[in-house]
Amino acid sequence: MNLRQRFEERIKKKEQEIKELEAKIHEARVYIQAFQDSIKLLPKDQSDNATAQDLLRPGSTNAKVYGFLKATGTPMHVGAILEAIGKVNNKANRVSLSGALGAYVRRKEIFTRPAPNTFGLIEMESNEPPDDFGLPTENEIREVRPKGDDDIPF
């Protein structure tokens, strides 16, 4: 066997190796693509450590609303929110802001809607019942008392 034939054999072997490696690369790319397609089908998860500052774009209206509600510490009507963040309180702005905040409410992220057109923050909600929970109101106490027994303390 002459030198030329040996070189040609080595070239063929290396070309075969390259084809095998390219096939493996192709399989790996298909594998990755399958995972990427599967991820697209899954719902987007919010990380447990994500804060409102991470989810809201700095300087956006929603970020301003978040800052205002955090400062007040209580849910506010959309009209009061608009005035506080420096926007005109008109129907178009109320509808726009209610829609934007409502999207977060529906996803149970950042904002709550404790009453119509009133928004608060999830982080300020308490799962504790109010102090007077389960106690009868003054009207309920009067209804239970028999007539003529007003001097009986309850």
Query: Residue 101's domain is classified under what CATH number?
Result: 1.10.10
Same-domain pairing of 38 and 60: no
Domain assignment present for residue 143? The answer is no
CB 85 within 8 A of CB 59: no
Model pLDDT, residue 57: 87
**Main-chain dihedrals φ then ψ at residue 115, nearest 5 degrees:** -150, 165
Same-domain pairing of 76 and 103: yes
Provide the edge-to-edge strand list for the sheet that holds 76-77: 76-77, 118-121, 111-115
Structural domain containing residue 13: 1-43
With bands split at pLDDT 50, 70 and 90, how would you rate the model's confidence at 97? Answer: very high
Average pLDDT of span 25-35? 93
Same-domain pairing of 78 and 22: no
Same-domain pairing of 89 and 59: yes
pLDDT in tens, 12-29: 999 999 999 999 999 999
Number of domains in the chain: 2
Same-domain pairing of 59 and 112: yes
Encoding tokens for residue 35?
Answer: 């995972």
Instruction: Look at residue 48 and tell me whether its pLDDT is greater than 60.
Output: no
With bands split at pLDDT 50, 70 and 90, how would you rate the model's confidence at 130? Answer: low
Q: What is the mean pLDDT of the chain?
A: 84
Q: What is the pTM of this model?
A: 0.52
CA trace torsion 24, 29, 33, 34 (10° rounding): 10
Same-domain pairing of 5 and 37: yes
Same-domain pairing of 6 and 37: yes
Instruction: Look at residue 46 and tell me whether its pLDDT is greater than 60.
Output: no
* Environment class of 87 (CB within 10 Å of its CB; exposed 0-12, middle 13-18, buried 19+): middle
- AA identity, residue 142: R
